Amino acid sequence: MNWMRDYVRPTLRAVFKRSDDSEEVKWHSCKKCGQMIYRRDFVAAQYVCPQCDHHERIGPQERFDALFDEGVYQLIDMPRGMDDPLKFRDKKKYADRLKESRSKTDRQEAISAATGKLAGQRTVIAVQDFAFMAGSLGVGAGDAFLVAVREAIAENAPFVMFTAAGGARMQEGILSLMQMPRTTVALELLREAGLPYIVVLTDPTTGGVTASYAMLGDIQISEPGALIGFAGPRVIEDTIREQLPEGFQRAEYLLEHGMIDMVVHRHELRDTLAGIISLLIDQRRAGGDLPLLANASSGA
Amino acid sequence: MVSFLEFEKPVAELERRINDLRTLSDAGDVDVVDDIIRLEKKLANLLESTYGGLSAWQKTMVARHPQRPHLEDYIGGLIEEFTPLAGDRGFAEDPAIIGGLGRFRGRSVVVLGNQKGRDTESRLKHNFGMARPEGYRKAIRLMQLADRFNLPVITFVDTSGAYPGIGAEERGQAEAIARSTQTCLQLGVPLISTVVGEGGSGGAVALASGNRVIMFEHAIYSVISPEGCASILWRTSDHAEDAANALKLTAQDLKKLGVIDRIVGEPLGGAHRQPTDAVTSLGDAIAESLQELQAMSADELRRDRREKFLSLGSAGVA
């Protein structure tokens, strides 16, 4: 029952949105080049700076709105899973950190998923939200990944995963680590169903997330400039006591080193995804081998 | 000579006294046999009480003990005709992960494990057991070899984690780990994973996604090292002890959480005190686990692994 999420919260949000008229929210300052951008233009440009092309981090809703045909989609219901399995506490209780993230993002967990049509093709898209505890992968996010994959299989639909995470969620200890093999098993099920798995790496994707489902796509796409790696840059610097080369662990660097298929601008992303999916599922849609020669169908 | 950990000081003191008495007794000056027997009994009790109630942080120290049995001890004690196989066929040989063919209790198997090294030279050679992508790619290659020839795979995990370096990143550390985990899960042969010392993060998962996961009594297995966790969440590594407790990284915690299948007891005072006994106990546990899986078909083995890892989530979501 998502009455709270689907009705009450959006309504409250709409009420508070009126304050958007203030000067402060009217303008966005690019985090990279500092350019002042009229917010409405920034949103229309899918949060890409018109001056320097910096791709601002965005959340699930922005992705779904931009990708699904006419912005129409259905959120996939996520189970209300176990919270704080270890009763973890550092300087602060993990339970409180979770609560904060939930009220800040209006989301239950770091991964949200939706089903809808992408250029006419039924597709399941899941998005990891960096704003939710750095997108970290814990049991709840693992649950969400699994549920999204199961939905794709049930709907006979390709699965597109947008990754963004600092890594595994430390506060869930070993259970967060176990989401690496768990999500990998989910991908085995998808593979057996013959459905494409497309990964879009977004800024930043590191740690146990990169070392599991984020690197196992049939196709690996990245947004420009995204930081992608196993170890974070600071950890590496501390280990080797050397400064890292320019552009290290950025999308373009990974492309150059053969780790991804392509770097795609956010404005081209929808068309690229639609094209790849259509090419990959061609045989599946045709229900068998397509004749390659014009006369093959005549039974010669 | 056993080297002592901080919390073992009373043990060290007692052992010193026993040794002193032995010297006296050997010299034949006085009859101290009764005293020695009494002190040895006391020592056993002290070891039992100390090791019976180790904290998570103390276990971390034991798991990293420089004299703890290492891969060469397990291979030496359990694997006959060990034939090491090198290289990932793409770039390099990574000595942080050792792998090869051999015979375990009469049966041909593929063995993989982290090699930490014992002295400065060998530690450097094996990069302290921290693998680079080539190590994981070699593991993938050998696991697939095992699959083709229907040989069970046994892994010995003992690493603080995968190596964080420029070259490792450049050559796809994350991808190599992800594929190694995936390969573990795809195998149509039994995969027995043992965490014998430290199981550090994704670098451990890549070799530990087995049908059965076995841990030594004082081994640890964690998403992040206590020091790393403390420096992120407490902003200082001084809180490593608090982090170790909070992370629930002991074999006992992991068994409770359903993450591992079996705990192998260690000799009194830790595996490093009686390495041969420790190696044999582990061998027995591996043999029993292999026995359990023997009758399963390739599909059943895959299903067994899938169900095991899918179940490590919220109730009802699998």
- Return the higher-pLDDT residue of B236 and A114: A114
Q: Is the pLDDT of residue B3 over 60?
A: yes
Distance from CA of A88 to the nearest CA of B (A): 6
The per-residue pLDDT for range A186-215, each reduced to its tens digit, is 999 999 999 999 999 999 999 999 999 999
Omega of the bond leading into A291 within 30 degrees of 0 (cis) = no
On whether any CB of chain B is under 8 Å from the CB of A163, the answer is: no
Q: What is the mean pLDDT of residues B115-136?
A: 95
Cα B11–Cα B13–Cα B17 angle in degrees, nearest 5:
115
Beta bridge partners of A197: A159
**Confidence at B92, pLDDT banded by 50, 70, 90:** very high
B-facing residues of A in 167-186 (CB < 8 A) are 168, 170-182, 184-186
State the DSSP string of A54-107.
Answer: -B----HHHHHHHHSGGG-EEEPP-------TT--BSSSBHHHHHHHHHHHHT-
pLDDT of residue A76: 97
Q: Is the pLDDT of residue B211 over 70?
A: yes
Q: Do B147 and B188 contact (CB within 8 A), yes or no? A: yes
Q: What is the mean pLDDT of residues B275-301?
A: 97
Nearest to A216 among B182, B224, B254 (CB): B182
Q: Which class does domain B60-316 fall in?
A: alpha beta
Q: How far is CA B76 from CA A44, B70, B86, B151, in A?
A: 66, 10, 18, 19
pTM: 0.92
CA B282, distance to chain mean position in Å, is: 10
The per-residue pLDDT for range A249-268, each reduced to its tens digit, is 999 999 999 999 999 999 99
pLDDT of residue A9: 53
3-state secondary structure of B62: helix
User: One-letter amino acid identity for B193?
Assistant: S
CA-CA-CA-CA torsion sign (A1, A64, A272, A204): negative
pLDDT of residue A12: 52
User: One-letter amino acid identity for B51?
Assistant: Y
Distance in angstroms (rounded) separating the CA atoms of residues B243 and B281 = 30
- In chain B, whose CA is at the least distance from the CA of A215? B175
- Return the higher-pLDDT residue of A152 and B232: A152
Nearest to B223 among A82, A170, A216 (CB): A170
Distance in angstroms (rounded) separating the CA atoms of residues A127 and A203 = 12
CA-CA-CA-CA torsion sign (A44, A45, A51, A57): positive
3-state secondary structure of B256: helix
The per-residue pLDDT for range B242-251, each reduced to its tens digit, is 999 999 999 9
Q: What is the mean pLDDT of residues A20-32?
A: 80
Q: What is the mean pLDDT of residues B228-249?
A: 93
Q: Is the pLDDT of residue A159 over 60?
A: yes
Helix (H) or strand (E) holding B71: helix B71-78
Q: Do B202 and A177 contact (CB within 8 A), yes or no? A: yes
**Confidence at A299, pLDDT banded by 50, 70, 90:** very low
pLDDT of residue A71: 95
pLDDT of residue A50: 95
Q: Do A28 and A36 contact (CB within 8 A), yes or no? A: yes
**Which residues from chain B sit within 8 angstroms of residue A184, using beta carbons?**
178, 181-182, 185, 209, 309
Helix (H) or strand (E) holding B104: strand B97-104
Distance in angstroms (rounded) separating the CA atoms of residues A239 and B163 = 9
CA B144, distance to chain mean position in Å, is: 23
pLDDT of residue A4: 46
User: One-letter amino acid identity for B237?
Assistant: S
pLDDT of residue B184: 98
In chain B, where the domains are located: 6-53, 60-316
Q: Is the pLDDT of residue B271 over 60?
A: yes
How large is the C-alpha radius of gyration of chain A?
20
Q: Do B212 and B293 contact (CB within 8 A), yes or no? A: yes
**Which residues from chain B sit within 8 angstroms of residue A143, using beta carbons?**
313-314, 317
- Reading the block at residue A16, the tokens are 């508070």
Worst-scoring range by mean pLDDT, A32-36, B33-37, B175-179, B212-216?
Answer: B33-37
Distance in angstroms (rounded) separating the CA atoms of residues A62 and A112 = 12
What count of residues does chain A have? 300
On whether any CB of chain B is under 8 Å from the CB of A242, the answer is: yes
Cα A125–Cα A119–Cα A204 angle in degrees, nearest 5:
35
Worst-scoring range by mean pLDDT, A3-7, A288-292, B125-129, B260-264?
Answer: A3-7
- In chain B, whose CA is at the least distance from the CA of A184? B182
Nearest to A188 among B166, B186, B232 (CB): B186
B-facing residues of A in 103-132 (CB < 8 A) are none
Distance in angstroms (rounded) separating the CA atoms of residues B78 and B280 = 7
3-state secondary structure of B164: coil
The per-residue pLDDT for range A108-149, each reduced to its tens digit, is 999 999 999 999 999 999 999 999 999 999 999 999 999 999
Beta bridge partners of B290: none
- Reading the block at residue A50, the tokens are 């018109």
Q: Check CB contact under 8 Å for A240 and B166.
A: yes
User: One-letter amino acid identity for B241?
Assistant: E
Q: Is the pLDDT of residue A1 over 50?
A: no
Q: What is the ipTM of this complex?
A: 0.95
- The percent of residues above 90 in pLDDT, for chain B, comes to 89
pLDDT of residue B51: 92
Distance in angstroms (rounded) separating the CA atoms of residues A138 and A175 = 7
Q: Is the pLDDT of residue B312 over 50?
A: yes
Domains and CATH numbers, chain A: 19-56 (no CATH), 57-285 (3.90.226.10)
Q: Check CB contact under 8 Å for A184 and B209.
A: yes
Helix (H) or strand (E) holding B107: strand B107-114
- The closest alpha carbon to A162, from A121, A208, A128, belongs to A128
- Return the higher-pLDDT residue of A82 and B298: B298
Which one of B223, B235, B314 makes the best mutation probe of the A interface by having the most chain A beta carbons within 10 Å?
B223
pLDDT of residue A24: 67
Please, what's the b/e burial string for A145-157 (b: 16 or more CB within 10 A of its CB; e: otherwise)? bbbbbbbbbeeeb
Distance in angstroms (rounded) separating the CA atoms of residues A49 and A57 = 11
**Confidence at A11, pLDDT banded by 50, 70, 90:** low
Q: Do B278 and B62 contact (CB within 8 A), yes or no? A: no
Q: Check CB contact under 8 Å for A89 and B246.
A: yes
Q: Check CB contact under 8 Å for B259 and A242.
A: no
Q: Check CB contact under 8 Å for A231 and B169.
A: yes
Q: What is the mean pLDDT of residues B275-287?
A: 98
